[in-house]
Amino acid sequence: MSLFSCRLLAALLAGGLLAALPMRGEAASEIPLGKVSGLPVPRYVSLKTDRVNLREGPSKDHRTAWVFQRAGLPVEITAEYETWRRIRDAEGTEGWVLHSLLSGRRTALVMPWAKAGTQPLALYARADDHATVVAQLQPNVIANVKTCREGWCRVVIGTETSGYIKQDHLWGVYPNETVE
């Protein structure tokens, strides 16, 4: 672990911030930490810009395999190497991107696995199946994740539409993950 990572981990522990990181049902000592960032690996982040090159390896010398064109798209970091992060998208596509093109802002996709013609999904005013429906969400809508607990996530769509959706309808949060 680098000196920076050691200092970051010590600061997180001292400030009690490490407890706010997702546990995904594991004991804190069992969560693998990235050797570069000192943050959990795997973890979800989002794309910072609307043009992100996905490379076959961790350098600009490697071929660009894909170009993402959707800022805010959630991706999962699965490995770290220097300034590069290996990521996976909701479709399972994997490759390497520069860490500066990623944001810690949590986003999620609404049911990206749904087939064409799937009915829209209700966004509720409260974390309750019987609450008022505030919107109907199509599959693949990007939601800004604000909180998740007890199987529900509070999300914001666009700049104003806010509500609750069941956690298992989202790709970008782990099952039973608490997001604060």
Closest CA to 66 of 38, 111, 37, 96: 96
The CATH architecture assigned to 3-106 reads: Roll (2.30)
Q: What is the pLDDT of residue 17?
A: 37
Q: Do domains 3-106 and 109-171 have the same CATH topology?
A: yes
Domain ranges of the chain: 3-106, 109-171
pLDDT in tens, 14-72: 333 333 344 444 445 578 999 999 999 999 999 999 999 999 999 999 999 999 999 99
Residue type at 69? Q
CB of 67 closer than 8 Å to CB of 121: no
Per-residue pLDDT at 9 exceeds 50: no
Whether domain 109-171 has CATH 2.30.30.40: the reply is: yes
pLDDT band (50, 70, 90) for residue 126: very high
